């Protein structure tokens, strides 16, 4: 069983996303979850690729005053197809329409992350390019009936059936599409890891 890193400060994940919690936990970090409820509107003139960075920073900032001595990690993911953001669907019909639009096309998934620490604030985005093969209507129907599409941007999860069976190619990080570019998160958190060096394992 993997042990967790000891951090200099407590780590707060400002998201209730099961995927983000899974990724961060599997990477070896202990953390508490405190979802940040913020206004997710943005200026229509803002470039779409800048939206996730704006929202992740807003989420982290909302918690920072209440937890000045904590590491606050926030994230936001958007799916962009043909110059339009596909948000989380509000109905199964909307989910069907989104997946039908994504079918046979290439889109971009951008995840913005922000780390607020006692040393300051850092924000960055990572982009992955995803191409779906042409999906059959019954495949979309079957996936939507399972309910997994309703809490995800673009109405799909890369780790779900529709991602496993439908994604033809992925250029970028799998974890960015899943909702948390853990390679970047680790780089930010590494300076706060207390000395974890141990004696070499005797082979």
Token pair belonging to 202: 């005797």
How many other C-beta atoms can be found within 10 angstroms of the C-beta atom of residue 12? 22
76 catalytic? Reply is yes
Token pair belonging to 26: 């599997």
Q: Are 117 and 9 in contact (CB under 8 A)?
A: yes
- Residues 200, 23, 176: CA angle, nearest 5 degrees: 115
Which one of the listed residues 39, 44, 76, 126 is annotated catalytic? 76
Residue 149 exposure: Cα atoms within 13 Å on the Cβ side = 27
Q: Tell me the three-class secondary structure of 57-75, residue by residue.
A: HHHHHHHHCCCCCCEEEEE
Which residues participate in catalysis according to the annotation?
Answer: 76
């Amino acid at each position: 069983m993997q042990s967790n890193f000891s951090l200099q400060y407590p780590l707060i994940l400002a998201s209730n996303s099961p995927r983000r919690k899974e990724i961060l936990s599997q990477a070896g970090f202990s953390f508490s979850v405190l979802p940040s409820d913020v206004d997710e509107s943005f200026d229509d003139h803002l470039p779409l690729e800048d939206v996730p960075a704006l929202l992740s920073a807003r989420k982290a900032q909302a918690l920072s005053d209440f937890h000045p001595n904590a590491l606050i990690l926030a994230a936001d993911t958007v799916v962009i197809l043909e110059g339009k953001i596909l948000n989380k669907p509000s109905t199964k019909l909307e989910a069907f329409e989104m997946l039908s639009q994504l079918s046979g096309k290439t889109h971009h998934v951008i995840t913005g992350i922000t780390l607020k620490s006692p040393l300051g604030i850092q924000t960055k985005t990572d982009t992955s390019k995803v191409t779906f093969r042409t999906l059959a209507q019954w495949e979309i129907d079957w996936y939507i009936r399972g309910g997994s599409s309703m809490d995800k941007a673009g109405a799909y999860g890369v780790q779900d059936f529709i991602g496993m069976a439908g994604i033809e190619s992925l250029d970028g990080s799998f974890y960015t599409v899943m909702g948390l570019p853990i390679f970047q998160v680790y780089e930010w958190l590494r300076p706060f890891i207390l000395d974890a060096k141990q004696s070499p394992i005797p082979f």
